[in-house]
Amino acid sequence: MRRSPGDTARSVRTISRRALMLGGVQLLLVGGLAARMRFLQVDEADKYRLLADENRINIRLLPPARGLIYDRHGVLLAGNEQNYRIVIVREDVGDIETAVARLATLVRLDPEKTEQAIREMKRRSPFVPVTIAERASWEEVARVAVNAPVLPGIGPEVGLSRVYPLGEDFAHVVGYVGPVSDYDLERLDDKDPLLQIPRFQVGKYGIERRLERVLRGSAGTRQIEVNAVGRVMRELDRKEGIPGKNVQLSVEQALQNFVQARLALDQESASAVVMDVENGDLLAVGSTPSFDPNKFVHGISSKDYNALLENPYRPLANKAVQGAYPPGSTFKMVVALTALTEGVIEPEEQITCTGYIEASGRRFHCWRRGGHGRVDLVKSLRESCDVYYYDIAQRVGIEKISAMARKLGLGMKHDLPLSGVAHGLMPTKAWKRERRGAEWLIGDTINAGIGQGYVLTSPLQLAVMTARIASGRAVTPRLVRSLDGIEVPPREAPPLDIDPEHLAIVRRGMYEVVYGQRGTARQSRIADENSLLAGKTGTSQVRNITAAERAEGVIRNEDLPWERRDHALFVSYAPYEVPKYTVTVVAEHGGGGSTAAAPIARDIMLFALHGKLPPLSAYPSSQRRQMRELFSRLDLRAPVAPSQGRGRA
């Protein structure tokens, strides 16, 4: 069939339009390729000539600025400072020993660190810069720069190095960084190329270690042109890395400083935890003695490190979270709540304390040799009667005691970004069978009833326990408040599955501990009616007292070697009616909880409530002269202002 002239004309027009469109696309492609070729061959000719000419372009990593760490008010706890360093690139220096000897005529080199740098160069890729001298002076940098023609592959750099402006106060919380090691590479299991930079600083302890990836940031790159002898001629391109995130902690600088000073004033080795009862914020986590984290930043000397390791008071340990101690009589609230919950005792029921009980052919003694007479629950807490708890512990059994302890936060590892957080131990029959290969005995239950035997807790766990008793809610501790300005919300704290009336009875007993006429902590009461203190003393034995010694008279703590003395404990909260803070103090081998731990906890609580040194009127009138003298002996830091702008150093 023949097509009409109109159909033919339309077909021609359609084909022409398609041809034009196809031709236009082809023209655009050809034009784009031509423009790209011109850009590469003409505009970028010098750049690619350099890249092809004897591999004279090096690409080096740029370490990012490490994130800063602040307290709850913006006081800087961990910052960065400029650090002039001298680096060596092995592939450009020729003979390493000759180059180092030549450099030594211009710059002071530490022999130990120089040997370490030489070993590092031989282990690393030849193009990786290795730091041979850190914290060089401006004069040393200038001498190296002037002599650059005769120092191929050696040059100065400016970087950032970690600094801890508050030194020992936050060493156990913030931790420290140090040069990356083979152990770190294995531990971190991290493919970040930054870790291949010799002496790159990574977190080794505390927040610095646990939040390493958050604080580290991401690397940038730098393209440099070097001449035939390895001298850097110019920088061709630079892409900055992504800085690490800033971290704001819940701790408070002034309170932490007071805690450290107060612990160190009277005790060789002690710890304390201050916690907000409402939201679980940790306001202070103190451990003494402490150490200077700045010594670790560039690699601590063997002499200094050995001195820390060999110190019998263990300055490197954060005893507040890592320490595991028998809780002693501070555990009696757990046993009391268990007995009340299980209905095996009424608050008014009395038990006779004659100074001991007999079970399984053994005598279990009360701390008061003559006994306490007729004892009800409140009196048992006020005067810390052991026989009362021997009795009720047998009635409820270890399984239910351990279950209540875990409900109150004991025997569990709390999720905090700190090193070595202790799990503690709430024993059960199955635990002893599995771990000790033995059956549970009635004597084990009796010992557990007063927080001895297999029971172990940390000061942090005791603070959580006290906060839960005070609030009636399952409060959990929080240390990180925000990351780069974004709040980390507190965890939900639902009501405890414990009868509020039972909690109120136990709280009444804790109040009587401090304000009762025979209260074991009466000497540590607070006179301010708006800041009434509730607490519980504890003294945990670290040695066995033989029958012969008991017959002759138990040796006093002060007459024993330090390491054989009892641990002193005190847990507390205030104000009594409207709880705000809890304070826990453990004095290692400090003696009695009432004399060694309670006074320290009272002073810390008053500082927390007032936000500064408390007025003398907060103390009983008979103690005010003594407290004035004590305050004068405290080695307190001058007030520290929040960092302006809280930007990156």
Q: How many residues does this entry show for the chain? A: 649
Identify the helix (H) or strand (E) that includes residue 238.
Answer: strand 232-239
**Is position 384 annotated as part of the catalytic site?**
no
Residue 600: C-alpha distances to residues 254, 258, 631 (Å):
16, 11, 12
Per-residue pLDDT averaged across 244-265, rounded? 97
pLDDT given at position 570? 98
pLDDT at 581 over 80: yes
Residue 414 CA to residue 410 CA, distance in Å, equals 9
Q: What is the percent of the chain where pLDDT is above 90?
A: 62
Find, among 227, 237, 236, 222, the residue nearest to 56 by Cα: 227
pLDDT in tens, 320-341: 999 999 999 999 999 999 999 9
pLDDT in tens, 503-555: 999 999 999 999 999 999 999 999 999 999 999 999 988 767 766 656 666 77
Higher-confidence residue of 473 and 18: namely: 473
pLDDT given at position 238? 74
pLDDT given at position 157? 76
Identify the helix (H) or strand (E) that includes residue 184.
Answer: helix 182-188
Going by the DSSP 8-state scheme, the letter that residue 525 receives in this structure is -
pLDDT given at position 459? 98
pLDDT in tens, 125-153: 676 777 877 777 778 778 877 787 777 77
Residue 256 CA to residue 249 CA, distance in Å, equals 12
**CA atoms within 13 A of residue 401's CA, in its CB half-sphere:** 30
Determine the 3-state secondary structure of 81 from DSSP: strand
Query: Which one from 271, 329, 471, 540 is the annotated catalytic residue?
Result: 329
pLDDT at 647 over 50: no
What pLDDT band is residue 155 in, cutting at 50, 70 and 90?
Answer: confident
What pLDDT band is residue 197 in, cutting at 50, 70 and 90?
Answer: confident
Q: Check residue 108 and give left, alpha or beta (phi > 0: left; psi -120 to 50: alpha).
A: beta
Query: Are 157 and 85 spatial neighbours (Cβ–Cβ below 8 Å)?
Result: yes
Query: 567 Cβ partners below 8 Å, 6+ apart?
Result: 325, 326, 328, 539, 540, 542, 586, 587, 588, 589, 590
Find, among 259, 205, 278, 196, the residue nearest to 490 by Cα: 278
What pLDDT band is residue 11 in, cutting at 50, 70 and 90?
Answer: low
Query: Are 520 and 382 spatial neighbours (Cβ–Cβ below 8 Å)?
Result: yes
Tracing tokens 């372009």 back to the chain, one arrives at 57
Q: Which residues of 248-273 are buried (b: 16+ CB within 10 A; e: fewer)?
A: bbbbbbbbbbbbbbbbbeebbbbbbb
Find, among 64, 79, 63, the residue nearest to 645 by Cα: 79
pLDDT given at position 318? 97
Name the token pair of 250. 């819940």
Determine the 3-state secondary structure of 285 from DSSP: strand
> Which residues are bridge partners to 155 per DSSP?
87
- Residue 541: what are its φ and ψ, rounded to 5°? -75, 145
Tracing tokens 């004095």 back to the chain, one arrives at 587
pLDDT in tens, 442-496: 999 999 999 999 999 999 999 999 999 999 999 999 999 999 999 999 999 999 9
pLDDT given at position 56? 64
pLDDT at 173 over 90: yes
Identify the helix (H) or strand (E) that includes residue 57.
Answer: strand 57-62
Tracing tokens 């047998």 back to the chain, one arrives at 394
Strands (E) across 468-507 are located at: 480-483, 486-487
Please provide the DSSP assignment of 115-170 as one string.
HHHHHHHHHS-TTSEEEEE-S--HHHHHHHHHTGGGSTTEEEEEEEEEE-TTGGGG
Higher-confidence residue of 82 and 401: namely: 401
On the 0-12 / 13-18 / 19+ scale of CB atoms within 10 A, 488 is middle
Residue 187 CA to residue 407 CA, distance in Å, equals 33
User: What domains sit in the chain, N to C, each tagged with a CATH number?
Assistant: 62-249 (3.90.1310.10), 269-290+317-541+569-611 (3.40.710.10)
**Averaged pLDDT of the chain:** 87
- Rounding to the nearest 10 degrees, give the CA dihedral for residues 457, 383, 605, 636: -80
Is-above-0.95 flag for pTM?
no
pLDDT at 371 over 60: yes
What pLDDT band is residue 649 in, cutting at 50, 70 and 90?
Answer: very low
Residue 59 CA to residue 54 CA, distance in Å, equals 14
Residue 351: C-alpha distances to residues 78, 445, 498 (Å):
55, 18, 24
On the 0-12 / 13-18 / 19+ scale of CB atoms within 10 A, 182 is exposed
pLDDT given at position 19? 67
pLDDT given at position 133? 77
Going by the DSSP 8-state scheme, the letter that residue 312 receives in this structure is T
Residue 241 CA to residue 246 CA, distance in Å, equals 15
pLDDT at 420 over 50: yes
pLDDT given at position 645? 43
pLDDT at 400 over 70: yes
pLDDT given at position 646? 43
Angle between helices 398-407 and 442-449 (to 10 degrees): 30
pLDDT in tens, 60-91: 677 888 999 999 999 999 999 888 888 888 77
- Rounding to the nearest 10 degrees, give the CA dihedral for residues 623, 629, 633, 637: 80
Q: What is the percent of the chain where pLDDT is above 70?
A: 88
